[in-house]
Amino acid sequence: MDPTTALYVSQGIHGLAYGMVLFLVASGLTLIFGMMSILNIAHASFFMLGAYFCFQVLSMTGNFWVSLLVAPIAVGFLGALCERFLLRKVHAYGHVGELLLTVGVGMVILESVKIFWGTESLPITVPPILQGLLKIGGLEYPIYRLFIIGLAFVILGVMALFLYKTRLGMIVRGAVSDADMVNALGINVPVVFMLVFGVGTWLAGVAGVAVSPIMTVYPGLSDQVGMDAFVVLVTAGFGSLKGAFIVSIIFGLLNAYGVQFVSQLAPVLMFSFMAIVLAFKPMGLFGEIE
Amino acid sequence: MMNKTTNWILWVVLLLILVLYPRLFGFYFTNIFVVFAIYALYAITFNILLGYTGLLSFGHAMFFGTGGYATAIALERIQGLPLFPAILIGLLAAIVLALILCPLLVRVSGVAFAMLTLAFGQLMHILAMKLRWLTGGEDGVGGFPIPPFNIPGIVSIDIANPTNFYYFAMAVLGVSIWIIWFITKTPFGSIQTGIRDNAVRVDYLGFKVRHTKAIVFIISSGFAGISGSIYALFQNLISADDAFHVGNSFAPIIMTLVGGMGSFFGPIIGSGILSIIDELATRYTERVDLVTGLILILVIMFAPTGFAGFLSFIKENLFRRASDKTAMEKTL
């Protein structure tokens, strides 16, 4: 295999891995938005918190797998608490209040992170089994990126099973389309909301742990990935999981190849893509007409 | 009659305080007051979007920054550019940016509007960092010459002097705020609030919702540009992290909420409260944003109408008979 193809393929893997991470973050956002019509600005902060919790658990236990399990659950728990004790209280004041509340939560998380862990970037090492390169058919693939892609697909599968095959999933889907009606049927919708918020932030936490070895863990992390996730959401159309998946992959690849070919303009590519999409479809690629 | 006289006296007292302020409080607090006034105008331009038209913008800093950068770059590149054309360039740059964006932005509302403005704000931040030949990258534009306030043949005042700058800034900001206030009182201002309350109905009444939104957006952006331009002149420096950062977009939101978004003067009060908190918090902690974030959460949870709402709540409940329960229920 000639080196040019190898370069293309490896950039493709990088793009795909980043796209999957974006999807993990964006899917949580989409779930929460579809269900409660809240755009969780603090979502990116929860994502960053996942990375920091991973560092903390890693430095206490030294086991990456434990932190992959524990850190996202801690983040999800915090998210559920945040829904129960903050968001639910301001629900009556409308969406602007909820939106701004999440802004406040995001600020508090960001500043707390700076207090507890400082502003310098923290090192996180991958367990040896995930290091190195995998050789298949003369091409080399970085194992950790493949691991991220696999992990995301597993979570995607579990989520799809949960949403479409279980009773609770049915309730969630029902509440997405008409929360009042589900409430009237005698189901405790606030608890479902709390659960969904917890699962959404848990997904962000998983993404945070997943990227922590390959991206620098520092307080700017939330801005960096969070903005991309929001752009994914806007481009895909709010509340569409399928759209979020497709657009995340497109953006991941756009980012990877953009860095390779037009490195100066790489960050602008995504926004231009978004602007073009919105110029023709104001509700996003897969958004429903309001 | 009595009421009118009291009003006049209040205005005169306010004016006197403004005029005497630099002599009473000295150099340090004068500068703090200038920053407060700049942010008051900035928050008001934000509030005519949110409070009056119901458009939540998460990228208002792009106009602040564009105004500031345009003035700074113009003064740096063009030799002997007078003061007012420099500010005018800031205003025009912000308006041009608003004109480019508004065909896209007026089609959406609510969360989509917020996200789009956020995205474009970030785009401007990235551009300000990347276009080094124009904006100086991370360092920003600084050390440009500040021209004197000059009316040919009559007067020439050096505004590099803090006291003189204070008077100059107060005049420009005061006039801007007065113009915005005037606009909100015109029939056009009523269409604005109509769009906020019921856009469909305004549409049926024969007013053009999108055109009105676009005009409001352009007016708001233009004055945000002026506030940015004064800010650049005041600091003699404008940098991407200062002007275009997303925190600078959230600042007017927090000020408006703390002050009360239903009222025109709410953002001014909010800006004042936040400058005081900022000033106090920096003495005790490095994490000022933590304090502002907590305040934001507390305000939304316990005082969703802000300080202005709190004042009218007190007014309604203390200065009326206690048996008048309807007023209380209304405010609650």
Q: Which tens digit of pLDDT belongs to each residue from A116-125?
A: 888 888 887 7
**ipTM of this complex prediction, to 2 decimal places:** 0.80
Q: Is residue B196 domain-resident? A: yes
The C-alpha of B196 sits at a distance from chain A's nearest C-alpha, in angstroms, of 13
A283 SS3 class:
coil
- Residues in chain B predicted with pLDDT less than 50, given as ranges, are 322-332
Average pLDDT over residues A227-254: 85
B285-to-A17, B26, B298 alpha-carbon distances in Å: 40, 25, 19
Q: Is residue A276 domain-resident? A: yes
Q: Is the pLDDT of residue A238 over 80?
A: no
* Token pair belonging to B58: 């998460």
CA distance A140 to B298: 53
CA distance B228 to B65: 6
Q: Is residue B306 domain-resident? A: no
Q: Name the residue with higher pLDDT: A274 or B319.
A: A274
CB B231 within 8 A of CB B248: no
Q: Is residue B304 domain-resident? A: no
pLDDT for residue B60: 92
CATH number at residue A260: 1.10.3470
pLDDT for residue B45: 93
Q: Is residue A290 domain-resident? A: no
CB A41 within 8 A of CB A102: yes
User: Are B289 and A112 in contact (CB < 8 Å)?
Assistant: no
Average pLDDT over residues A176-189: 83
CA distance A181 to A174: 8
Residue B165 burial (CB count, 10 A) = 22
Q: Residue A268 is nearest to which of B123, B257, B290, comparing CB atoms?
A: B123
| Mutation choice for A interface testing from B300, B305, B331 by most A CBs within 10 A | B300
pLDDT for residue A10: 79
CA distance A220 to A226: 10
- Which residue range is the domain that position B241 belongs to? 25-257
Closest CA to B59 of B182, B220, B188: B220
Q: Answer whether A275 touches B (CB < 8 Å).
A: yes
B33-to-B142, B162, B163 alpha-carbon distances in Å: 22, 11, 11
Residue B65 burial (CB count, 10 A) = 34
Q: Answer whether B111 touches A (CB < 8 Å).
A: yes
* Token pair belonging to B232: 């650049």
CA distance B254 to B259: 8
Closest CA to B172 of B49, B62, B19, B38: B38
* Token pair belonging to B19: 């005029």
What is the tally of structural domains in chain B?
A: 1
Q: Mean pLDDT score of chain A, rounded to an integer?
A: 84
CB B137 within 8 A of CB B156: no
CB B38 within 8 A of CB B64: no
Q: Answer whether B296 touches A (CB < 8 Å).
A: yes
pLDDT for residue B96: 95
CA distance B1 to B81: 49
Work out whether strand B155-157 and strand A139-142 pair parallel, antiparallel, or are unpaired: unpaired
Q: Is residue B264 domain-resident? A: no
CA distance B90 to B175: 16
pLDDT for residue A64: 83
Closest CA to A77 of A170, A194, A212, A215: A194
pLDDT for residue B328: 43
Q: Is residue B34 domain-resident? A: yes
Q: Is residue A288 domain-resident? A: no
Query: pTM here?
Result: 0.82
Question: Residue type for A63, please?
Answer: N
* A/B interface, count of CB pairs below 8 Å: 103
Q: Is residue A285 domain-resident? A: no
Q: Is residue A257 domain-resident? A: yes
Q: Is residue B4 domain-resident? A: no
* Orientation of helix B83-105 relative to helix A266-280, angle to 10°: 60
The C-alpha of A131 sits at a distance from chain B's nearest C-alpha, in angstroms, of 33
Residue B236 burial (CB count, 10 A) = 15
A73-85 pLDDT per residue, tens: 999 999 999 888 8
pLDDT for residue A180: 82
Q: Is residue A72 domain-resident? A: yes
CB A243 within 8 A of CB A287: yes
Write the DSSP assignment of A32-90 as a string of letters: HHHHH----TTHHHHHHHHHHHHHHHHHHH--HHHHHHHHHHHHHHHHHHHIIIIIHHH
What is the tally of structural domains in chain A?
A: 1
User: Are A282 and B107 in contact (CB < 8 Å)?
Assistant: yes
Helix residue ranges, H only, B208-263: 209-235, 240-243, 246-259
A232-236, A268-272, B42-46: least confidently modelled range: A268-272
A134 SS3 class:
strand
CB A33 within 8 A of CB A39: yes
| DSSP E strand stretches across chain A | 133-136, 139-142
Helix (H) or strand (E) holding B151: strand B149-151
User: Are A104 and B127 in contact (CB < 8 Å)?
Assistant: no
Q: Answer whether A242 touches B (CB < 8 Å).
A: no
CB B267 within 8 A of CB A114: no
Residues of B in contact with A115 (CB under 8 A): 287, 290
| Mutation choice for B interface testing from A95, A98, A111 by most B CBs within 10 A | A111
Classify residue B164 by burial, with Cβ atoms within 10 Å: 0-12, 13-18, 19+: middle
Classify residue B122 by burial, with Cβ atoms within 10 Å: 0-12, 13-18, 19+: buried
Q: Is residue B225 domain-resident? A: yes
Kindly report the backbone phi and psi dihedral angles of residue A80, in degrees, each rounded to the nearest multiple of 5, phi listed first: -65, -40
| Mutation choice for B interface testing from A105, A109, A232, A234 by most B CBs within 10 A | A234
The count of residues in chain B is: 332
pLDDT for residue B8: 87
Q: Is residue A287 domain-resident? A: no
CA distance B275 to B261: 18
Q: Is residue A239 domain-resident? A: yes
pLDDT for residue B327: 45
CA distance B148 to B80: 10
CA distance A88 to A108: 18
| B263 HSE (CA, 13 A, CB side) | 20
Average pLDDT over residues A164-190: 85
The C-alpha of B137 sits at a distance from chain A's nearest C-alpha, in angstroms, of 13
Average pLDDT over residues A186-191: 86
Q: Is residue B309 domain-resident? A: no
- Which residue range is the domain that position A21 belongs to? 3-280
